[in-house]
Structure 1
Amino acid sequence: MPERVEEQECEGNEVGRGLRAFGLAEVHNPSMVPTLNPGDRLVVRYGAPVRPGDVVVVRHPFRQDLLIVKRAVERREGGWWVRGDNPFVENDSREFGTVPDELVVARALLRLRPPRELQRSAGAVLSWALSAVRPVGVPAPSPRPAGRGPSRRLRAR
């Protein structure tokens, strides 16, 4: 299933030649789980410089009317190598190669997670608010299995 991100109208700061500096995008597919879930909204900055580890909105190289959200992994000849955070979804540079710079639309700054259900108590609202808005950047490290330290050396006995 192709990834889809929907740009949303957003009143924002005007920069340069009348271009909007900031906007909103809504995530529709699971390719960035666990970082982003379907229904999450992103505050994005158009034309922002991209660094490895940034979450970006790009035009799909084969279907330029389709916007997708991925993590910029590294610069390669021809553009950015992008990947989703979900290891089970391969709709990324493994499928379509590098993404040219001119197809990088925006860099995600914040994730806005909508409430799952109606919040009835002040504590529930506060709990949701504390987890709903998060900066989007380098992914959290994978959890290590219990009892294993950072060393990967094998010890012979």
Structure 2
Amino acid sequence: MPERVDEQDGRGLLRIGLAEVYNPSMEPTLVPGDLLVVRYGGEVRPGRVVVMRHPFQHDLLIVKRAVARRAGGWWVRGDNPSVRNDSREFGVVPDELVVARAWVRLRPPRLVQRTPGALLGWVFSAVRPLPSRRLRAR
């Protein structure tokens, strides 16, 4: 899912990339087709959106919200309660599987009507920092 755009190592520069959301597990915060600007190696804190390797399928990258620090890693959840592809299914995610922290959401203009008002509305809603949100770990 994420593609590295700029990865500088050892020089103190930000390592930034892009990720595309493919499934509805983070709705309503993120919808399929949204792009995320991510920071590789960014600090993970409870409530932040992260990109991680799936614990059972390491070649699959998924987007979840870090909920709580647990022994052995992070408890993660999707914002969509009806999709259970998260720690409720696979347990705690080890730190080494967390790839990046999402920074900003970019919403493509695919659903925008072609009127000036609609385009202006899209401009103000398309680029948005991802808010921290507290979920309960169970």
Task: Please give the TM-score of this superposition, normalised by the length of structure 2.
Answer: 0.89
Aligned match for 2:3, one of 8, 13, 17: 8
* 1:107 and 2:101 matched: yes
The answer to whether the aligner puts 1:61 opposite 2:55 as a matched pair is yes
Unaligned runs of 5+ in 1: 1-5, 141-157
SS in 1 for 2:123: helix
Higher helix share: 2
RMSD across aligned positions (CA) = 2.2
- Runs of 5+ consecutive residues of structure 2 not aligned to the other structure: none
Map 1:1-150 to 2 at 5 A.
6-10=1-5, 12=6, 14-16=8-10, 21-117=15-111, 119-139=113-133
Higher strand content, 1 or 2: 2
CA contact (8 A) 2:112 2:122 kept: no
Once the two structures are superposed, what CA deviation does each residue of 1:64-98 show, in whole Å capped at 9, x if it has no partner?
00000000000000100000000000000011011
Superposition misfits of 4+ residues, deviation over 3 angstroms:
17-20
Aligned residue type for 1:91: N
The number of aligned residues is 135
- Greater Cα radius of gyration, structure 1 or 2: 1
How far 1:122 moved relative to its partner? 2.8
Deviation at 1:16, TM superposition (A): 1.8
TM-score, normalised to structure 1, is: 0.79
* Corresponding letter in the other structure for 1:108: A
